[in-house]
Amino acid sequence: MQRIMIMGSSGSGKSTLARQLGEITNIPAFYMDGLRFTSNRAEIPKDEFRAKQTEIVAKESWIFEGNSLGTMAQRMDRADTVVFIDYNRFFCIYRVIKRRVQIKKKPRLEMPYDWTDKVEWEFIKWIWNYPKRTRPKIIEAMHIAEVQFFHLKTRKQVREFVEMMREMHP
């Protein structure tokens, strides 16, 4: 495993898993939202975002965390492994709210330096609609792609996956 995609709803733990895998494997982790958003919460132009992603995907090894469906094929073409964290939406919403309460005004490591999380209604709706809007497209891509695919549906499965990676990279 040299080029790993991690996908899943907001609040599923993609960033945490990417950090863990980076530490275990010594493969650099890249975070979709950290690449796509500026410090003032604005999205960078799509062509600039694609150029950043193209540069990363061309590398020999990477862990790429995030869901951008518009650029998923580009990552998938180079990935050798995809990890899909597929928790239910209630759990993901709970985790997003919990994260916001726990970190308060501290920035998240994978986000621009002065980013603070906001739990807004639009964000909650995005998570709520993820199973119908985004999940089917990811599942469909998994059936087509020629990659090693891990479909993790529980926290126990995620812990077991991390432990398997630790055993592979002592």
Average pLDDT score over residue span 52-63: 93
Give me the mean pLDDT over the 128-148 stretch.
88
Residue whose token pair is 């895998």 = 21
pLDDT of residue 44: 83
d(CA 90, CA 169): 34
Determine the Cα–Cα distance for residues 142 and 144; give it in Å rounded to an integer: 5
Question: Number of folded domains in the chain?
Answer: 1
pLDDT the model gives residue 166:
94
**What integer best gives the mean pLDDT of the chain?**
86
Predicted pLDDT of residue 69: 81
Banded model confidence at residue 114, pLDDT cuts 50, 70, 90:
low
pLDDT tops 90 at residue 120: no
Q: How far is CA 169 from CA 9, 22, 164, in A?
A: 27, 11, 9
User: Which pLDDT score, from 0 to 100, does residue 39 have?
Assistant: 64
Is-contact 96 8, C-beta < 8 A? no
Domain that holds residue 90: 3-168
Report the CATH number that the domain containing residue 155 is assigned in CATH.
3.40.50.300
On the question of pLDDT at 45 being above 70, the answer is: yes
Per-residue pLDDT band for 40 (boundaries 50, 70, 90) equals: low
Q: Torsion-angle region of residue 68: left (phi > 0), alpha (psi -120 to 50) or beta?
A: beta
Q: Which two tokens stand for residue 72?
A: 């998923």
Angstrom distance (rounded) from CA 1 to CA 7: 16
Residue 65: in which H helix or E strand, if any?
strand 62-65
For residue range 58-112, what is the model confidence (pLDDT) as tens digits? 999 999 998 878 888 888 989 999 999 999 999 999 988 887 776 655 555 555 4
Task: Give the pLDDT score at 41.
Answer: 65
Calculate mean pLDDT across residues 24-41: 83
Long-range contacts of 136-140 (CB under 8 A, 24+ apart): 137/69, 137/72, 138/7, 138/67, 138/69, 138/72, 138/84, 139/84
